[in-house]
Amino acid sequence: MSADGDADLTRTLHRLVTGLLDWLDEIPADQVDPEAAARIRGSVDWVIAQLPAGEQVRLASGDPDPKSLPVVVGLLVDVVWWLDTCDEDEVDSHLAVKMLEDGLVDLDDLPDAQRDRLVAVLAALAVSEPHDTRRYQLRFFPFGMNLTDDEPEDDEPTPRDWVSPQARHRE
């Protein structure tokens, strides 16, 4: 895929991530713990802050650098992982499922070339991921989001709880 194709995919995936986070902010506190929503948003912001300044600015402006694609793919996996494993007192489980189903419908509409590129980036991220549970999440994501029919052969880790990028960085 070309650099323009990577930039388009980065833009689409970044919109998905920010859309899910914005949705969390709009839900009443009896369904979403505002502190939990702030923690996941803070983790996403922390990862973006690790990008070079120029990439941060381009991502925020909606004209992402194609080099940001792996970071944004990782953020999408992290937000989905968090929603999938968060406690009922953080996000109502029915709401979390609805967010995953409705918020990620755009993945179904990706052109074949972008779907293939997303799966390739996920595979590359998984190969280099030192954290066992996140590596599983990266490998499971294409199957879990119906991007591929191939279920990973990895055993599901126990526990499968989300681990913030800051904590994974310290490990």
Q: What is the pLDDT of residues 105-157, one digit of tens each?
A: 889 899 999 999 999 999 999 999 999 999 999 999 999 999 999 888 888 88
pTM score: 0.94
The average pLDDT across 51-75 equals 95
The full DSSP string for 82-125 is HHHH--TTTB-HHHHHHHHHHHTHHHHTS-HHHHHHHHHHHHHH
Between CA 167 and CA 144 the distance in angstroms is: 25
Instruction: Give percent above pLDDT 70 in the chain.
Output: 99
pLDDT for residue 1: 66
* pLDDT higher than threshold 70 for residue 66: yes
* Window from 31-40, 72-81, 99-108 with minimum mean pLDDT: 99-108
User: Would you state the structure tokens that stand for residue 122, as one six-digit string?
Assistant: 């996920």
Neighbours of 79 (CB within 10 A): 26
Between CA 119 and CA 139 the distance in angstroms is: 9
Backbone angles phi, psi at 32, to 5 degrees: -135, 125
* pLDDT higher than threshold 80 for residue 167: yes
The average pLDDT across 83-103 equals 92
Between CA 103 and CA 80 the distance in angstroms is: 10
Distances (CA, A) of 104 to 58, 67, 98, 129: 23, 22, 10, 23
* pLDDT higher than threshold 80 for residue 103: no
